[in-house]
Amino acid sequence: MNKRALYKELWSELSKDKPMVMLAGPRQSGKTTFARDIVAKDFADTIYFNWDLPADKDRLIKDPVFFSKVPRSSVSSRPLVILDEIHKYRDWKNYLKGVYDQFAGEYQFFVTGSGRLEFSRKAGDSLAGRFLKFHIFPLTLGELFFHRRTLRDFINDPLEGFDDTSAKATGEAFRLLWELSGFPEPFIKGRKTFWSKWSAAYDQQIVRDDLRTVADIRNLDIIETLFALVPSRVGSPMSMNNLAGDLQVAFDTVKNWLLLFDSFYLTFRLAPWTAKISRSILKEKKIYLFNFPVIDDEGSRFENLAALEFLRAVETWNDRGLGNFTLHYLRNKGKQEVDFLLAENNRPFLLVEIKVSDRTPAPNLLVFQDFLNIPAVQLVKEDGVKKVFRNGNNNVLVVTAHRWLSSLP
């Protein structure tokens, strides 16, 4: 899969600059496979540790620097130490700080985790300046095909330069993602029946097992109810006050539970764009799922699929140090809305609207394009669509989604 090449390139770039690299992403998105089967091949010696394995956990607690006792194949060898799910260790930050400070010159550390390895880089953080981080996501069209544009070419002209000569192949990949998600195991199996069984077990494992290990959750039934409500809220600004009322719990309770969903890559949320970032902080966010085939509504699932494509792109650009990119939606006081806005340093450079089958630009898209004076794309699920419309001094591309997304940098 091209996914391997993309993340191998990222790993190579980051590991040259720091002896500790962190990889964050959802459970079963390929982190452990990537670490053990791809990265480890470049090292003569590899030590693998997984906090979820009782024997490994006991080993670390008894001897925090256990890896230093493992013999090397040669005096000059610089072993790779893979620390998987180490963030579940209560004192993991101080532990990593200690091993980094003592062994950074002798080992390369690769830290992976399914819960987000979120921490501040501000002064005083125990890990500040000691690591570089990148993200891995479920498969997307942009990862599955090699004809991605360069980022600067894409920013300079997002409406042209994409390779749509493989429409049959990209269409089939879109169908598989639509039905099975981009998680590698169900995607490779290629069967909806397998995805159904996998999906039920996956959600239960995270909500009932992983969340409980990091938070004092006493009302598992209610948090499961909240998660069950998410598919019907996808693609719309979400009111936490309304959710709190529906569930008969406090506002802060819902807020904290939603943060947990984000932290364990069950969901991700987009804030509205405003010229002043501070104004968007209290605005209602839109919520999306990583396992989006659970969404029944066709339009909402289509929007979610596209949201994940853009999230993967934006996070990858940031991880590579190519700039400060963000993903938003747009909504004005008249409740006119555009699904996505991509910005660099909070300056918008592209508008994207998602429509199942509308071959003409949405009126809201034209309104916001007139205001921002930037290119716009309308992605449609229908096959065989590629039209360019003039809107004053700007153009709007209406195109079949998989033809355009497969070239996303």
Place of tokens 């909504």: 331
Question: In terms of C-beta distances under 8 Å and separation of at least 24 residues, what long-range contacts does 345-351 make, across chains too?
Answer: 346/273, 346/275, 346/277, 348/273, 348/372, 348/374, 349/155, 349/158, 349/374, 349/375, 350/155, 350/158, 350/374, 350/375, 350/376, 350/377, 351/375, 351/376, 351/377
At 275 the pLDDT is: 82
* Helix (H) / strand (E) containing 388: strand 386-391
Which phi and psi (to 5°) does residue 35 adopt?
-65, -45
Q: What is the pLDDT of residue 8?
A: 87
Residue 94, H or E segment: helix 92-103
List per-residue pLDDT tens for the chain, 409 residues long.
465 777 888 899 999 999 999 999 999 999 999 999 999 999 999 999 999 999 999 999 999 999 999 999 999 999 999 999 998 888 898 999 999 999 999 999 999 987 766 543 443 466 778 899 899 999 999 888 877 789 999 999 999 988 777 889 999 999 999 999 999 999 999 999 999 999 999 988 888 777 776 666 677 788 889 999 999 999 999 899 999 898 899 999 899 889 889 988 999 999 999 887 555 555 889 999 999 999 999 999 999 999 999 999 999 999 999 999 999 999 988 889 999 999 999 999 999 999 999 999 999 999 999 999 999 999 999 999 999 999 999 999 999 999 999 999 9
How far apart are alpha carbons 309 and 352 in whole angstroms?
12
**Which pLDDT value is given to residue 206?**
85
CA distances from 147 to 143, 144, 150, 166, 405 (A): 9, 9, 10, 10, 10
Reported pTM: 0.92
**Cα 219 → chain centroid:** 28
Q: What local confidence, expressed as pLDDT, does residue 282 receive?
A: 58
- State which CATH number among 3.30.1360.120, 3.90.1310.10, 3.40.50.300, 3.40.462.40 fits the domain covering 2-135: 3.40.50.300
Residues of the chain with CATH 3.40.50.300: 2-135
